[in-house]
């Protein structure tokens, strides 16, 4: 699990938010407090100056009222004494000017100017008009803040302005005190912020610890582990969230168990289905394929996942995805090559969402190669039976019509025609009997009359029977083992098999040819072979000689009276006894038919 960077964590965000709130609160309080302190200090300073200046103005006005009684020089001396004795040290007064009503400075204290000068100050002129004016300015020489006050001197009895007083007082001490207070406040703020940040981190950790636990468990849940639970630290909102999270985990665990069970069922069903299943997304790209589909298509699912189903089913050149959507519910897929026939049927259905849009496709693949081959064999069988019956029937009809037209009266022709009619009738009877026998074999409607006997003696007797009726020039050679080989089989059925094979060998053997019969025990089976020296069978046709109505040379077979069903019957008989039958041949050198049978006891011995 990747660790969250500290500067991105909610822990830091909580602490910063808490500290910022405290900073904002302190800033608001500080601004308000400093503003109030500054206003109070300024007001207190102004009131102190005003009170003392008003007292000074009152005393000067009192001296001016006595001017008529006293000598003007004495009055001026008294005013100078009042100004000189003004307590300027404690209230930071730098300059005091007393101006008469003509704007002439009569008394001064400080370094602003000397007596006898006329003043051009606008505040003084305003005071001589009876208005009071004050302001806070900066000294151009050193930048100190000073309080400037111009106040009229009004005599009580005359209510006339007899002059004005101009005062400058330094406020640096006031602002120095304010700076000290600001410094103290900033120091206290920094200390408070440090303590607040520490407490904020602790508080944030208390709040975020359950959230970090839930994040950790959520990541574990994402990996599929629903067994763990989050610790509940309290009954507050975060505790309720943790409880809800644990409840969600439990429900997800139950839902996941159900889903996993259904997935395993589906996986098991798909794995053991005898049909192939291929699923796609809405774009026709393969997202799922079961084992049977891999076997049917002879391809690995890792190589086709994410590819188009049209390409997989070899339909890319025939149709598009939209055309597949509008195609019939099933398609025949021909995967045949020159060596093997291989045909699949694809039955497909589309998965649609509630709004009707296509969400994907499911294709079910069936191997119908055997069905198609059976159907093809059925069609060929019908054609062959029709052909085999039509030939003798046509012959019968021709000869019967000839007899009806008068040939029966001809003593030489009539017997020959009747013989042909009889032969063709026998041929049709054999054909029908063979067909009935094959039908019973196909339906398993046969009852074997099993008996136990020595196959070696039995095989000798069958060969002896054929030697008595063999054509001139045909020779039988026997290579049978000396020891007995007991078998438990239906003697009549096996006799039919051997008769059919030896009859074929005699038909196709040339004059002076040899038919070789062998019998020996190999691999715990009784093996029998019958060989001729005929023209043989082409290699491409060997695998088909046991098919019904299949002939290598149709004209010659029909001429010799064969139905084309003998080896097919022999194959079914041998398989029904639990054996196997096959052929080996070399063109121009002859053919050998082999078959095997189970036996009760066997001992290896020399051939006779």
Q: What are 349-373's pLDDT values in tens digits?
A: 887 777 767 778 888 888 887 777 7
- Rounded Cα distance, 351 and 608, in Å: 73
- Which pLDDT score, from 0 to 100, does residue 608 have? 38
Give the mean pLDDT of 179-186: 86
Does residue 179 have a pLDDT over 70? Answer: yes
* pLDDT tens digits along 232-255: 777 777 778 888 888 888 888 888
CB 146 within 8 A of CB 171: yes
Dihedral sign, Cα of residue 320, residue 326, residue 330, residue 332: negative
CB 103 within 8 A of CB 125: yes
Terminal C-alpha separation, the chain: 85
* Confidence at 434, pLDDT banded by 50, 70, 90: low
**Element (DSSP H or E) covering residue 38:** helix 10-65
- Rounded Cα distance, 347 and 79, in Å: 127
Angle value at C-alpha 213, between 212 and 219, nearest 5 degrees: 90
39-53, 170-184, 536-550: range with lowest mean pLDDT: 536-550
Q: Strand runs (DSSP E) across 248-377, as ranges?
A: 276-280, 286-289, 330-334, 343-352, 358-367
* pLDDT tens digits along 547-599: 776 766 544 444 444 556 778 878 888 888 889 999 998 887 889 999 999 87
DSSP 430-465: HHHHHHHHHHHHHTT-----EEEEEHHHHHHHHHHH
Residue 280 burial (10 A CB sphere; 0-12, 13-18, 19+) = buried
Give the mean pLDDT of 182-190: 85
Q: Name the more confident of 389 and 74.
A: 74
307-321, 392-406, 518-532, 587-601: range with lowest mean pLDDT: 392-406
Q: Name the more confident of 412 and 431.
A: 412
Q: Please provide the average confidence, as pLDDT, over all residues in the chain.
A: 79
Does residue 543 have a pLDDT over 80? Answer: no
Q: Name the more confident of 296 and 226.
A: 296
DSSP designation for 408: G
> Mapping DSSP to helix (H, G, I), strand (E, B) and coil, where does residue 138 land?
strand
Give the mean pLDDT of 264-286: 81
Token pair listed for 277: 């299943």
- Which pLDDT score, from 0 to 100, does residue 595 have? 93
Does residue 124 have a pLDDT over 50? Answer: yes
Share above pLDDT 70 across residues of the chain, in percent, rounded to a whole number: 85
Share above pLDDT 90 across residues of the chain, in percent, rounded to a whole number: 5
- Which pLDDT score, from 0 to 100, does residue 518 have? 94
Q: Name the more confident of 528 and 291.
A: 528
CA-based nearest residue to 598, from 449, 486, 479, 431: 486
CA-based nearest residue to 282, from 347, 218, 356: 356
Token pair listed for 153: 């001197």
- Which pLDDT score, from 0 to 100, does residue 516 have? 93
DSSP designation for 5: P
Give the mean pLDDT of 524-551: 82
CB 368 within 8 A of CB 345: yes
- Which pLDDT score, from 0 to 100, does residue 555 have? 45
* pLDDT tens digits along 301-335: 788 888 888 888 888 888 888 777 777 677 888 88
* pLDDT tens digits along 154-170: 876 667 787 888 888 88
SS (H, E, C) 517-543: EEEEEECCEEEEEEECCCCCCCHHHHH
Does residue 443 have a pLDDT over 70? Answer: no
- Which pLDDT score, from 0 to 100, does residue 601 have? 56
* pLDDT tens digits along 4-59: 454 556 666 767 777 788 888 888 888 888 888 888 888 888 888 888 888 888 88
* Confidence at 88, pLDDT banded by 50, 70, 90: low
Residue 57 dihedral angles phi and psi, to the nearest 5°: -60, -40
The per-residue b/e assignment along 430-442, b for 16 or more CB within 10 angstroms, e otherwise, is ebeebbebbeebe
Residue 472 burial (10 A CB sphere; 0-12, 13-18, 19+) = exposed
Q: Strand runs (DSSP E) across 104-160, as ranges?
A: 105-109, 133-138, 145-154
Does residue 376 have a pLDDT over 80? Answer: no
């Amino acid at each position: 699990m990747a660790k969250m960077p500290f500067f991105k964590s909610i822990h830091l965000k909580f602490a910063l938010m808490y500290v910022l709130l405290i900073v904002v609160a302190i800033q608001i309080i500080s601004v308000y407090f400093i503003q109030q302190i500054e206003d109070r200090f300024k007001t207190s300073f102004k009131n102190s100056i005003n009170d003392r200046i008003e007292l000074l103005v009152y005393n000067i006005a009192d001296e001016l009222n006595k001017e008529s009684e006293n000598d003007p020089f004495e009055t001026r001396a008294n005013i100078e004494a009042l100004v000189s004795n003004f307590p300027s040290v404690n209230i930071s007064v730098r300059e005091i000017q007393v101006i008469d009503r003509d704007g002439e400075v009569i008394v001064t204290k400080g370094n602003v100017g000397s007596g006898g000068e006329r003043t051009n100050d606008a505040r003084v002129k305003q005071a001589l008009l009876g208005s009071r004016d004050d302001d806070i300015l900066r000294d151009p020489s050193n930048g100190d803040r000073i309080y400037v006050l111009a106040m009229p001197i009004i005599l009580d009895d005359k209510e006339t302005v007899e002059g004005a007083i101009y005062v400058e007082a330094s406020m640096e001490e006031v602002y120095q005190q304010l700076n000290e207070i600001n410094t103290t406040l900033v120091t206290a703020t920094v200390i408070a912020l440090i303590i607040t940040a520490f407490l904020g981190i602790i508080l944030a950790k208390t709040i975020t610890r359950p959230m970090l636990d839930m994040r950790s468990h959520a990541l574990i849940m994402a990996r599929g582990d629903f067994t763990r639970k989050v610790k509940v630290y309290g009954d507050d909102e975060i505790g309720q969230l943790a409880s809800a999270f644990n409840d969600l985990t439990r429900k997800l665990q139950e839902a996941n168990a159900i889903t996993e069970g259904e997935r395993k069922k589906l996986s098991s069903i798909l794995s053991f289905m005898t049909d192939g299943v291929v699923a796609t997304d809405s774009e026709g790209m393969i997202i799922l394929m079961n084992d049977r589909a891999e076997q049917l298509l002879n391809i690995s699912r890792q190589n086709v996942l994410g590819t188009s189903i049209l390409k997989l089913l070899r339909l890319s050149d025939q149709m598009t995805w939209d055309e597949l959507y509008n195609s019939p519910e099933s398609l025949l897929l021909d995967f045949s090559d020159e060596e093997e026939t291989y045909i699949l049927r694809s039955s497909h259905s589309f998965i649609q969402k509630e709004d009707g849009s296509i969400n994907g496709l499911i294709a079910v693949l069936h191997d119908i190669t055997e069905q198609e081959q059976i159907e093809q064999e059925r069609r060929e069988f019908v054609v062959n039976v029709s052909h085999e019956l039509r030939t003798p029937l046509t012959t019968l009809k021709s000869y019967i019509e000839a007899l009806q037209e008068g040939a029966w009266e001809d003593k030489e022709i009539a017997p020959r025609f009747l013989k042909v009619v009889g032969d063709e009738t026998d041929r049709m009877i054999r054909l029908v009997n063979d067909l009935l026998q094959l039908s019973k074999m196909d339906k398993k409607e046969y009852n074997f009359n099993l008996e136990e006997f020595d196959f070696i003696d039995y095989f000798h007797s069958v060969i002896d029977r054929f030697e008595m009726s063999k054509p001139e020039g045909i020779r039988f050679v026997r290579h049978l083992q000396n020891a007995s080989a007991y078998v438990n089989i239906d003697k009549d059925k096996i006799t039919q098999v051997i008769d059919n094979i030896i009859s074929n060998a005699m038909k196709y053997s040339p004059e002076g040819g040899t038919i070789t019969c062998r019998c020996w025990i190999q691999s715990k089976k009784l093996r029998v072979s019958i060989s001729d020296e005929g023209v043989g069978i082409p290699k491409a046709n060997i695998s088909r000689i046991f098919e019904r109505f299949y002939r290598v040379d149709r004209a010659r077979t029909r001429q010799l009276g064969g139905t084309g069903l003998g080896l097919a019957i022999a194959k079914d008989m041998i398989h029904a006894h639990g054996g196997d039958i096959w052929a080996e041949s070399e063109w121009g050198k002859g053919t050998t038919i082999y078959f095997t049978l189970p036996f009760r006891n066997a001992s290896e011995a020399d051939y006779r």
